[in-house]
């Protein structure tokens, strides 16, 4: 397994992982009609734009030369509430089902944190659906629940929790 910065050539690989991982992770949480309409081609266009703009920090994990996971992050998008006191934000972290539980998520997060620190970002947040068991990943890595909100995905109201790290030094 190898972790590296994403390039424009990774747009398809990232989009494929994004869609596949949404389908396995959110089955039974997000409405199935919403999951069924997710298209790699649409996601790929979004990722291609993001990779071209280079505004976000994006890393991929690859196995045998094939993308099996990714992380993206950047400046915290929150403008109010306790969560706005943190500098950085993990926007997304997804691994294919078969790549989970092998430490790749931790390695992706460490790569992002190293980039954050070299940009002077010392704290961060992440939003996660309360029903997603993967939120224990953030707890395991020292994130503390600091806020919650209700969001609507595909016509269903879902609780989303925000985890915060006052200092990301311990994660680097």
Ligand X SMILES: CC(C)(COP(=O)(O)OP(=O)(O)OC[C@H]1O[C@@H](n2cnc3c(N)ncnc32)[C@H](O)[C@@H]1OP(=O)(O)O)[C@@H](O)C(=O)NCCC(=O)NCCS
List of residues contacting ligand X (CB under 6 A) = 21, 25, 93-95, 100-106, 128, 132-134, 136-137, 140
Nearest distance, CB of residue 151 and ligand X, angstroms: 12
User: Smaller CB distance to ligand X: residue 102 or 117?
Assistant: 102
Among 122, 32, 124, smallest CA distance to 76 is for 124
Give the residue with the Cβ less far from ligand X, 52 or 136.
136
Q: What is the rounded CA–CA span in Å between residue 96 and residue 80? A: 33
Question: Least CB distance from residue 160 to ligand X, whole Å?
Answer: 9
Nearer to ligand X, 52 or 148 (CB): 148
Shortest reach from residue 99's CB to ligand X, in Å:
7
Taking the complex as a whole, how short is the minimal distance between the CB of residue 72 and ligand X, in angstroms? Answer: 11
């Amino acid at each position: 397994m190898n972790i590296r910065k994403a390039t424009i050539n990774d747009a398809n690989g990232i989009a494929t992982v994004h869609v596949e991982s949404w389908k396995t992770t959110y089955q039974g949480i997000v409405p199935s009609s919403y999951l069924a309409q997710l298209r790699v081609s649409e996601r790929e266009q979004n990722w291609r734009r993001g990779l071209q703009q280079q505004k976000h920090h994006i890393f991929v994990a690859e196995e045998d030369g094939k993308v099996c996971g990714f992380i993206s992050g950047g400046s915290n998008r929150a403008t109010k509430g306790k969560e706005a006191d943190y500098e950085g934000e993990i926007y997304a972290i997804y691994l294919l089902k078969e790549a989970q539980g092998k430490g790749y998520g931790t390695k992706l997060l460490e790569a992002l944190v190293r980039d954050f620190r070299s940009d002077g970002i010392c704290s961060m947040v992440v939003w996660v659906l309360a029903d997603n068991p993967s939120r224990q990943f953030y707890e395991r890595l020292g994130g503390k629940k600091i806020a919650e909100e209700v969001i609507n995905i595909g016509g269903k109201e879902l609780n989303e929790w925000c985890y915060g790290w006052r200092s990301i030094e311990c994660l680097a």
